[in-house]
Amino acid sequence: MARTKKVGITGRFGARYGRKAKRSVKIIEENMKKNHVCPKCDRPYVKRQAAGIWKCRKCGAVFTGGAYVPQTPMVKSAARSIRDIKVEE
Ligand SMILES: [Zn+2]
């Protein structure tokens, strides 16, 4: 369970699964476990509950998002479309 600088969080896998796979997991999981900014109160208290479910520990807001990050590029383009539709009305 060595968490060296190189393997970081993927140190839990020991010597298994290879460097490439572990590096991908490292990038995704480190990003996932960061505190994300809440869309409701703008504070960095958002944590992942389950795949696609995010919860703010400050204001208690629960919302859906990407499986590993609350804001995916798809979410952004969808939000833009919604905003544009509202403007047209
Ligand atoms: Zn919040």
Distance of CA 42 from the midpoint of ligand 1 (Å):
6
Whether residue 30 lies inside any domain: the answer is no
- Residue 63 in any domain: the answer is yes
Tell me the whole-structure pTM to 2 decimals. 0.77
Residue 61 domain-assigned? yes
- The answer to whether the beta carbons of residues 47 and 68 sit under 8 Å apart is no
Domain for residue 4, yes or no? no
Is 6 contained in some domain? Answer: no
Residue 62 CA to ligand 1 center (angstroms) comes to 9
Could you tell me the distance, in angstroms and rounded to a whole number, from the CA of residue 87 to the centre of ligand 1? 26
What single-letter amino acid sits at 27?
A: I
Number of domains making up the chain:
1
- For ligand 1, the distance from its centroid to the CA atom of residue 83, given in whole angstroms, is 21
CA–CA gap between residue 62 and residue 84 (Å, rounded): 25
pLDDT digits (tens, 9 = 90+) for 47-76: 999 999 999 999 999 999 999 999 888 888
> Which residues participate in the annotated binding site?
38, 41, 56, 59
Which residues form the domain of 81?
Answer: 35-89
**Domain assignment present for 44:** yes
Tens-digit pLDDT profile for residues 27-48: 999 999 999 999 999 999 999 9
- Is the Cβ–Cβ distance between 40 and 56 less than 8 Å? yes
